[in-house]
Amino acid sequence: MIVRYLEERIGTEYDVDTPTWNSRRLLLKEDGAGFSLHDTQIKAGTETMIWYKHHVEAVYCIEGEGEIELVNTKEKFPIRPGMMYVLNGHEKHWLRGKTDMRMVCVFNPPCTGLEVHDEEGAYAAPTAN
Ligand code: 9YT
23 CB under 6 A from ligand 1?
A: yes
Taking only the tens place, the pLDDT of each residue in 95-114 is 999 999 999 999 999 998 76
Estimate the share of the chain in helix, then strand, then coil, as percent rounded to the nearest 5: 5, 45, 50
Q: Which atom of ligand 1 is nearest to the CA of 42?
A: 4
Predicted pLDDT at 3? 98
Phi and psi based region of residue 100 (left: phi greater than 0; alpha: psi -120 to 50; beta: remaining): beta
105 CB under 6 A from ligand 1?
A: yes
Taking only the tens place, the pLDDT of each residue in 37-63 is 999 999 999 999 999 989 999 999 999
Predicted pLDDT at 113? 74
Domains with residue ranges and CATH for the chain: 26-108 (2.60.120.10)
Q: Which atom of ligand 1 is nearest to the CA of 18?
A: 6
Predicted pLDDT at 43? 97
Q: Which atom of ligand 1 is nearest to the CA of 16?
A: 10
Taking only the tens place, the pLDDT of each residue in 80-90 is 999 999 999 99
